[in-house]
Amino acid sequence: DAGVIQSPRHEVTEMGQEVTLRCKPISGHNSLFWYRQTMMRGLELLIYFNNNVPIDDSGMPEDRFSAKMPNASFSTLKIQPSEPRDSAVYFCASSSLGPYNTDTQYFGPGTRLTVL
């Protein structure tokens, strides 16, 4: 398996622009997580899905952020409009059990976002 795939790997954009990050989880995994990592705050959970349904979005910073999972093999994280403080590395991870079970999470390589 190719592992969790994220695109793009790097994104540089200007303040006010819309940014869309993409994630393809490992085939057969039914939980998907979006994380953000910054120097100041470390790793933070933004949102996670189980069976394509958002379970916990309490980490989404504000209305400018939205995430969707239209099917089991694809998810997007959108920022509109983007701001310089959104600059971070965004990780997607997937795992294979239900929302209240424990299982190893497999991380994608991350998308490094820079908002100028």
Partner 1 sequence: KNEVEQSPQNLTAQEGEFITINCSYSVGISALHWLQQHPGGGIVSLFMLSSGKKKHGRLIATINIQEKHSSLHITASHPRDSAVYICAAQETSGSRLTFGEGTQLTVNP
Least distance to partner 1, CB of residue 81, Å? 26
Please report whether residue 43 would count as binding partner 1 according to CB under 8 A: yes
Sole binder of partner 1 in the list 5, 20, 52, 55 (CB under 8 A):
55
Token pair 């997937």: residue: 94
Q: What is the spatial distance between Cα 54 and Cα 23, in angstroms, rounded to a whole number?
A: 15
58 Cβ partners below 8 Å, 6+ apart?
Answer: none
Q: Going residue by residue from 94 to 113, which x/- string records binding to partner 1, judged by CB under 8 A?
A: -x---xxxxxxxxx-xx-x-
Task: Tell me: does residue 82 bind partner 1 (CB under 8 A).
Answer: no
Cα dist from 59 to 28, 40, 67, whole Å: 25, 16, 12
Q: Which two tokens stand for residue 76?
A: 């997007």
User: Which CB atom, from 3 or from 84, has the smaller least distance to partner 1?
Assistant: 3
Examine residue 71 and tell whether it contacts partner 1 (CB under 8 A): no
Residue for token pair 């910054």: 38
Which positions lie near partner 1, rule CB under 8 A?
31, 33, 42-45, 48, 50, 55-56, 59, 89, 91, 93, 95, 99-107, 109-110, 112
